[in-house]
Structure 1
């Protein structure tokens, strides 16, 4: 995960910059970003049944190999004079489409890694969160430095090398029996009552769309997972508009410029890493629901409101530091809840649907924020965004389904010790 995610973050700097300096068009740069993310979300949603059927190991290394090939083709074709803009878009679509199932497959292997390592699930998801935060913090810095020294094409070549290395690590370095399909040997009573069962054996083996429907049926029948997805989907939309539009506009209007953007992003990223590390160490001992909602309380609305207030940069950095620290606790808890509530044979398709639904608002965040700022100005939009964030992440916690967040862990512990056999709790 560390290798492939770091390569992705480097590419996130190198590819837009390559398009901008070779075409001079901000519109084409935006098109490239869209053509990478749209297939990522769509293909990730649709490949859940494939991950469950084929096993996450083979999907991970083959998807990373496909991403490496497409990424390496960009500098090779450019050097040969064969890289037209339509060809570039086609390669970007391939990169995004392959990244989706590759990322999904690695996520699906986290609970198995936790079992093999004999560590609490919150610790495993916390360490996974640390890797994501480090990649998000170190990758752009490394990518920017690399591009400044040797140009964007070298950055794209490094991205391809990272994907290739990730493919080799997953294919060769994992334990031999890890990452295979959970459908091959489904454990008894591994499905909640009333949920669909599927098996690889027999002439009546379900097809792709039936498997896809099984994942949707399970997800639709779990109120806690649905509540999590809706909440994260709204906050992702708000965060996308915040980072893509509101922070740059604030930096320009406040006079802090690009330096201000870098400082607030780095501050939040560093403290988020610290929060994820602490979550990996102690989150399994804490009440999940309380930590989850406190984390969102400090991670969301305050950063909108401090920018709306016109506070000096020092105060803004303090708020962003606290915000990042709180955010570090959120994803480990979400990951642990998902992995505990979803039966292993359904993990790929349910996770794929959940991730894609939660990410569905991200492409719209910047568009909505940009139109709103143009219509009413920055401060009203920041204030409205902060209020929306607070209502989404606080008042919704009063609904009864959230109580199951703490029960999920207790039921998982009882199952692990052999006290109960029904994973539905």
Structure 2
């Protein structure tokens, strides 16, 4: 349901919102450097895509498993407090990796424990970040859609800058030394969020049955159900594409970390451009139609990825496919945040996040094995087929009349 925007200066221009965006941008730059540095370290030291996929799987797996208790944590302690604590915990865990490696105390099992703890922190941190948006800009549907798009702009711009810089730094200083920058970025993020206005605490402690009711609402509502299923599909497919990028750099482009960095930067650059477009279109096109257009566009372009091609055109294809994804994710998150009754919103969002992340661990683990036994082009063709199937229900939803 859409509410009427308040008169006066836009909340999107307020200092609290800019601080939230700044914190997300800075922490995401560090995280995106780690997104290249950590799997590159595992891939180059072990030579195994399966082990690289295992690291991704273990880090993502706690997010869906802990999504329901994570919602209780956010509802009980508030989005701002959970986000700040998450920043500080993430900084400490990330710094532990290069510290242990420098002392020759980083076997694979220890690395897996660290990344699993990072996933546990992320289970509450990710939904808290989204709820922090409504704390700063209110609940007008078009504003929240635009706010989510700008939030994704900060993240995707970091995806453009972080991997490209990481590729250069890895070649000069080594992969694990890049992680120190990620640890510092989380500390800066926590500092930016400190002092933001606090929201009123819940009058009663949240109950576990509210999470169950949130899950039931997600299943019963026809619009949210379609959005969740389609987003679940993309959540299973796009990690395969991301994991394919360092494998392509290793197999087709002479194990060049610069190529891996530029491919991940193209991912972030395309997403950044898409988020800017979504922020502009949010007040002109309904969230359903944005999602339908984004799903269809991404599906079409993903058919170009399996081709054996120069790195320049591959990067352009990656960027173009990712340009359409924010048109799916920003409207989906907006509807999850605003469509449920207000008392269920802190519980529907984590359930939705858990649904999306449920597919990611399986995708990372399966993709690592697939890349060891199948050609990369074969796997990417299957991704294009899956994306086309995900786009169909979104198109049907986008062509149907809008209902409150």
Normalised TM-score (structure 1)? 0.76
Select 2:171's aligned residue among 148, 172, 178.
148
Matched, 1:55 2:63: no
Q: Name 1:70's counterpart in structure 2.
A: 93
Matched residue, 2:145: 122
Task: Report the aligned-residue RMSD.
Answer: 3.6
Kindly state the Cα deviation for residue 167 of structure 1 after the two structures are TM-superposed. 2.0
Mark the CA change 1:85 to 1:65 in structure 2 (over 3 Å): closer, same or farther: same
Distance 1:119 1:125 in 2: 10
Q: Distance in 2 between matches of 1:18 and 1:383?
A: 27
Q: 2:61 is paired with a residue of what secondary structure?
A: helix
Q: In the alignment, is the contact (CA less than 8 A) between 1:3 and 1:166 conserved in 2?
A: yes
Contact 2:29 2:162 in 1 (8 A): yes
1-10 or 115-124, larger mean C-alpha shift: 115-124
2:217 aligns with 218
Is the CA contact 2:49–2:371 (under 8 Å) kept in the aligned structure 1? no
User: Which whole-Å CA distance do the structure 1 matches of 2:27 and 2:396 have between them?
Assistant: 39
Cα deviations by residue, 1:137-158 (Å, 9 ceiling, x for unpaired): 2122222333333333432222
Q: Aligned pairs, how many? A: 381
**Cα deviation 1:94-125 (Å, max 9, x = unaligned):** 22211221122111111222229998222211
What TM-score do the two structures reach when normalised by structure 2?
0.80
Paired position in structure 2 for 1:339? 337
* Structure 2 residue corresponding to 1:394, chosen from 379, 392, 395: 392
Partner of 2:284: 285
The separation in 1 between residues aligned to 2:311 and 2:106, in whole angstroms, is: 43
| Conserved? CA contact 1:301–1:387, under 8 Å | no
CA shift for structure 1 position 391: 2.7
> Which residue pairs with 1:135 in the alignment?
158
- Asked if the contact 1:250–1:378 (Cα under 8 Å) also holds between the matched residues in 2, the reply is no
Q: 1:6 to 1:344 in 2, by over 3 A?
A: farther
Q: Contact 1:7/1:139 (CA < 8 Å) preserved in 2?
A: yes
In structure 1, the residue matched to 2:349 is 351
Specify the alignment match of 2:16 in structure 1: none
Q: Is the 8 A contact 1:52 1:345 kept in 2?
A: no
> What is the distance in 2 between the residues matched to 1:317 and 1:15?
21
Alignment match, 2:297: 298
**2:18 paired residue number:** none
Q: Which residue of 1 aligns with 2:274?
A: 275
Structure 1 stretches of 5 or more lacking a match? 185-199, 408-424
Larger of the two Rg values belongs to structure = 1
